[in-house]
Amino acid sequence: MSRFDKTVTDLDHLLQPHVFLDADPDARRRNLDAALMYVYRLRDHRMNELGKNEYWARARATPEGQTTEALVMVRNSFEHDLSVIIAPRETSLYPPFFPGRWTFPGSNPTWLRMEETGGVFDKRPKELREAYRDTLEGMIAGYAFDAARNFLVVNVMSA
């Protein structure tokens, strides 16, 4: 099994809701950090495989690719304290939010709106602020990781 395949397997294991949404706050933080690392590793593989220019063109062309790049920017900028931009939020029990793979009655980990983050984006690069606002802000965290996984494992190669 290649390193890429092992990384996909590890990410798939982590993205099982009962693992990713562990009740222990420290476990959730570690799971989020690990998921970002796996996304970054898969992206690095695809970028090397396709070449940077081709990879960037494909990433910019799809919502899943844009979400992937926003996750990478978040990883690079907030690697040591993601708790300032993700928090449990009550989720509507009506479509499109429930039922779903990442939505459960009660609270669901959600990327916060920028105005809820206490100014942590103020000194971040404009590109990060825009990518976050345009793709992650308000999204349930699990769906963002699913989008990145789908893009990096399947869609980037068929674009």
Q: What is the pLDDT of residue 87?
A: 72
This prediction has a pTM of 0.85
Give me the torsion for CA of 15, 21, 22, 27, rounded to 10°: 80
Q: Residue 111 in contact with residue 144, Cβ under 8 Å?
A: yes
For 12-39, how does the pLDDT look when each residue is reduced to its tens digit (9 = 90+)?
A: 998 888 787 777 878 888 888 899 999 9
The domain locations on the chain are: 3-158
15 three-class SS: coil
- Adjacent-strand bridge partners of 103: 100
Distances (CA, A) of 114 to 56, 92, 124, 131: 25, 21, 12, 11
Question: Dihedral of CA 120/126/127/129: which sign?
Answer: positive
For 44-98, how does the pLDDT look when each residue is reduced to its tens digit (9 = 90+)?
A: 999 999 999 999 999 999 999 999 999 998 887 766 566 667 777 776 555 555 5
11 vs 114: CA distance, rounded Å: 27
Those residues whose C-beta lies under 8 Å from the C-beta of residue 100, and which sit 6 or more positions away, are: 143
Q: Which residue has better confidence, 26 or 100? A: 26
